[in-house]
Amino acid sequence: MTQTIVDAAITSRMSTRAFTQQPVSRQTITELLQVASRAPSGTNTQPWKVYVLQGASRAVLVDKVCATHNAIRANPALAADYREEYDYYPEKWVSPYIDRRRENGWGLYGLLGIEKSDKDKMHLQHQRNYRFFDAPVGLMFTMDRVMGRGSLMDYGMFMQNIMVAARGRGLHTCPQAAWNGFAKIILPHIGAGADEMLVCGMALGYADETDVVNTFRTPRVPVEEFTHWLS
């Protein structure tokens, strides 16, 4: 198969979990969002709202959420106060999805030498999400609660555009649903309106190519497994 430039950007995209401190200019971020805004949306509703966190705004949010994450670990009852506004994952896991989830989780932890009994290491690795994996740019995505579930599909296409456009500029990303449970902290911090819902976050920056975590690649099932040809 001949690979185009677009193909290369798509296939080289990965969930990067270690970034350098090399800054990303405001102009570059603006270009990414401008390109991404060409994503399709139902009747051109364009439901996306983006908050860009850098410098102090990013650092303060990281400190707030990490402190809460630590508090929940010390007192699990606090978790009831931090719930996702919408169900990203199913209430009940079934095959083959639970199998892929486990393969992903233990593949990553195995690479990092974290065993199932290493609760401290697991907690710290999970908390890397709330540090944007050290990326200098954190993005928070919201949409108005009045919008329907179809807008989440629109949002996915918008975010994919960001990630592909980022690869075209030598940047990497990590889309993060892990932030969703901390919306009650995040939304006031970013100045979101009362009618807005947190969709997810994203880390953006230059990958640390020396970190072993960035050698992790998730597998994909073959086309024949998910495609049905009708004639």
Distance CA 50, CA 33 (A): 9
pLDDT band at 2 (very low <50, low <70, confident <90, very high): confident
In-domain check, residue 75:
yes
In-domain check, residue 91:
no
Mean pLDDT of 63-83: 97
* Domain at 194, CATH number: 3.40.109.10
List pLDDT tens digits, range 157-213: 999 999 999 999 999 999 999 999 999 999 999 999 999 999 999 999 999 999 999
In-domain check, residue 226:
no
CB of 177 closer than 8 Å to CB of 152: no
Residue 3 has pLDDT above 90, yes or no: no
Mean pLDDT of 57-70: 98
Report the first-to-last Cα separation within the chain, whole angstroms. Answer: 24
In-domain check, residue 225:
no
List pLDDT tens digits, range 103-159: 999 999 999 999 989 999 999 999 999 999 999 999 999 999 999 999 999 999 999
In-domain check, residue 98:
no
The residue to which tokens 């006031």 are assigned: 188
Distance CA 180, CA 116 (A): 24
CB of 72 closer than 8 Å to CB of 178: no
What is the model's pLDDT at position 133?
98
Distance CA 48, CA 200 (A): 11
Overall domain count for the chain = 1
In-domain check, residue 113:
no
Q: Which residues contact 88 (CB under 8 A, 6 or more apart)?
A: 177, 180, 200
Mean pLDDT of 5-13: 95
Distance CA 144, CA 192 (A): 10
Secondary structure of residue 92 in the 3-state scheme? coil
In-domain check, residue 180:
yes
Which domain, by its residues, includes 167?
A: 5-86+129-219
Secondary structure of residue 173 in the 3-state scheme? strand
Return the CA Rg of the chain. 18
In-domain check, residue 230:
no
Distance CA 214, CA 16 (A): 6
What is the model's pLDDT at position 61?
98
Mean pLDDT of 67-81: 97
